[in-house]
Chains A and B, each alone.
Chain A
């Protein structure tokens, strides 16, 4: 009777959003990411004042911007990580289409900021690089296609995803942005590998990448010069690489001390591509190893959780996202220690970068959404998951 008069008390059939999120989220990965972001701000305090001084801005201008964009990135990260995988997939497909449109329109409306490659849209207060937003969207779409192809009577999603990849890579190579192109290609290959690619095919593909790189080397001067710089046995001391490796040596194990570094005055990209050199010089090998461990932690934790995942789509998409994240960090640091040819790539969450930081926040948010603990079907799976 009471209920008929006053209406029923609303009954929550499902668990509340936040507690459920907290219970299922991968707290380790989340805290690693937050620590990395904190290091980014710390290093930005050291690395960006010379640049700000050069551009006639207050000393901590770039740090403030990094904090603002970082805050936005963190919001994007948290919001995305609260979504269900299906929701993530839907939004990601939309986002992907938008970013793809942006990428295609670049030659007409983009700007190159005098750097020789048209990669950005200038918005006045900030610039947007569509390929940054394209990457997570692409991973989700490709994973979706591959997962669909595994359904009985499903579409030929693998071929579709391959066509899509090749198209995007071609657009990126036209800019030219071989870094992002190879990242996209790499992401697709990792997903294909996990989706069960025949080993023979993988070998053939690897050979094709080598051939393609050779072609790019011969046809693009931009590309060739960077490779040559890498292959020359001794690096000229006044190049970016020379300064970077010298900074690492200078730093030693414990660094020259906070604010004592010199490299930030010589390197124009000290706050972005060579932030690790600043870290190595001022804080020494210790901080660099901590940063490396944090990245390894994110990658290994995520892959570990994805191993237990039954759903094909989630597993593939998560793998793709985490692989791109890890490889980007690896390439950035590999360049600084001259294990890899110079390639303008930022260190995720540590390097300065407005829109790329937000894009990275979205990507990792997706990853967290995919790696959340969820019931895995049958009892045997749960047993397996909990180690029997």
Chain B
């Protein structure tokens, strides 16, 4: 318990002894002490308040002085500061595998004015309007003669325009350096390069930033001063890219397709030598993303990398290769192909009736859905899923452009036995053409996993082995058979022993509910030369229809295959491959005797 002392004790005691109430005395005492205290504290507070007021006055005074000092200095232009490195010519070039320029910088100039330094504002305005007819002369004159101290006139002018402005000779017109991204090849490899735009802008320069493709993926690298402008070398070959795009474009028009994609890949290194998606765009003047319509129809959409489709029968070779590797079948095993194959309510049919049984090789050559589905049944869902996963078919590719992340395969939520059967012939699993090319590269290189890359590599990739050399060879023999005697008979290119597999997949309806009857995605996945493949080429056409015959033809054999053959014919010599021609009869010389 805290005792409160009785104060003043003497008087209280005296009052108590007299029988009076001591409370009043105590209260009076408190009042007096309080008063004294209050005076004391007030005296102290007075001093402190004075200090406080002085502090405020000084602080406000400091702000006022600073304000005055700032008002007294000349306005600086919005100039890039010394602390941030100069922006000029910082972004590295992008070159192709032979060192040819794919993207570089062009030095241009920005034009701005400092009206106080102007000598003849009227003439300057008049002359400027003569050089840049879209400027408003009156507005310009108003700005020049008003109280403004700085204004932008143009953010980008060419050297010729700069010279013309220079010749006006007015000291109030000034130039700032500026760097702009230039793609000298126009729309060539547009989807790979992507495009660039301005980030931070100032008088002394503007920062260039990548908005798509490798420009965006390697933005930090390209802008990194530590790399000292070392160019970024891609695996693309400019000439081959050009030939491929050219042929693909012509083929797309001939086949009345609404889009097309092609991938040409080195089977050992995984380097993508050429890759195209049509329609395309000019990265120098990158269009804005469309706000309406299907985004996958936009020219900006990269069908080869971003687009995932059910690619159809081209997948059959994976099921067959796996079954061969597991020892479930040999190329000569007879498989029951009596149709239709019923699974619950679902029926699997072939394009034509191929009889009651076919060998494994024939299943590929004739492209039998039923036969492939039966082989897939032998493999089983789990092993199939594992194999396709190891092949990289179930995740986005590691391809080094930003859009690759968007190319994430669509796989069934529940990998049932029916899914196993449909996936074996390329339905129920959607992948990009690039995935497919990587898968075929695996078969082409003798059975090791390939990860596609856009950067130039020094040597082959040593991916994990997925199938044995013998299996890969057997699979290639089958693929060669497809071209020599099967569905891709138009794919033969003399001297290059093309092997491959066609795929004609009905397109699923956008709103669900089955497939279109008259819209297909035609694909031809090929490798050449089949006995020792160097390159894999995948050509995909979106909704092609070939109308030269009596009936419109949509199958890949009639649409994608001839285009692929034409591409191979054009690019193989450019790739430095010699045709393997049987020495034919030499003109006019006959062997008469030994």
Give the interface of A toward B (CB within 8 A).
Answer: 150-153, 190, 193-196, 232-238, 242, 245-246, 248-253, 256-257, 260, 262, 280, 284-285, 288-289, 292, 295-296, 299-300, 303-304, 306-307, 309-310, 312, 315, 319, 323, 326, 330, 333-334, 337, 339
Contact = CB atoms under 8 A, between A and B. Distances in A.
A292 B57 CA distance: 10
A232 B71 contact: no
Nearest to B40: A196
Interface stretch (B99-107, B145-153, B297-305, B366-374): B145-153
Given A150-B41, A303-B49, A323-B52, A246 B78 contact: yes
Interface in B57-107: 57, 59-60, 62-64, 66-68, 70-84
Contact of B70 (A249, A319, A334): A249
A288 B61 CA distance: 12
A330 B67 CA distance: 12
B67 A280 contact: yes
22 contacts: A152-B34, A153-B4, A195-B45, A196-B44, A236-B200, A237-B78, A237-B79, A237-B81, A248-B67, A249-B73, A251-B71, A253-B72, A260-B147, A260-B148, A296-B60, A299-B53, A299-B56, A303-B50, A303-B56, A310-B42, A326-B60, A330-B63
A337 B41 contact: no
B34 A190 contact: no
A20 to B, nearest CB: 25
A280 B71 contact: yes
Given A196-B44, A234-B82, A250-B149, A310 B38 contact: yes
A251 B73 CA distance: 10
B34 A151 contact: yes
Contacts of B34: 151-152
A238 B202 contact: yes
A250 B75 contact: yes
B65 to A, nearest CB: 9
Contact of B63 (A232, A256, A284, A337): A337
Interface string B539-578: 0000000000000000000000000000000000000000
Nearest to B62: A339
A285 B68 CA distance: 6
Contacts of A246: 75-76, 78
B9 interface: no
Given A190-B52, A260-B146, A310-B38, A330 B76 contact: no
Interface of B: 4, 30, 33-34, 37-38, 41-42, 44-46, 48-50, 52-53, 56-57, 59-60, 62-64, 66-68, 70-84, 146-150, 200-202
Given A193-B48, A304-B53, A319-B52, 19 more contacts: A150-B37, A190-B52, A196-B44, A234-B83, A242-B78, A249-B71, A251-B71, A253-B71, A257-B147, A260-B146, A260-B148, A262-B148, A288-B71, A296-B56, A296-B60, A309-B42, A310-B38, A319-B49, A337-B63
B71 A284 contact: yes
A256 B46 CA distance: 44
Contacts of A288: 64, 67, 71
When A and B form their complex, which 9 residue pairs have the shortest distance between CB atoms, in order from nearest?
Answer: A237-B78, A234-B81, A249-B75, A285-B71, A337-B66, A303-B53, A256-B147, A250-B75, A248-B70
A260 B60 CA distance: 27
Nearest to A309: B42
Given A304-B53, A330-B60, A248 B71 contact: yes
Nearest to B51: A193
Contacts of B53: 299-300, 303-304
B67 A289 contact: yes
Contacts of A304: 53
Nearest to B147: A256
Contacts of A250: 75, 149-150
With most chain A CB atoms within 10 A of its CB, the pick from B46, B53, B72, B79 is B53
B4 A237 contact: no
A23 B122 CA distance: 62
B56 to A, nearest CB: 5
A315 B39 CA distance: 13
Given A196-B44, A312-B41, A326 B56 contact: yes
Contacts of A306: 49
A339 B63 contact: yes
Nearest to B46: A307
Contacts of A299: 53, 56, 60
Contacts of B150: 250
With most chain B CB atoms within 10 A of its CB, the pick from A152, A235, A284, A312 is A152
Contacts of A334: 63
A353 to B, nearest CB: 21
Given A232-B83, A256-B147, A238 B60 contact: no
A296 B70 contact: no
A306 B53 CA distance: 11
Given A153-B4, A300-B57, A333 B41 contact: no
A237 B202 contact: yes
Nearest to B7: A152
A303 B41 contact: no
Contacts of A284: 71
Contacts of A309: 42
A334 B58 CA distance: 13
A233 B78 contact: no
Contacts of A195: 41, 45
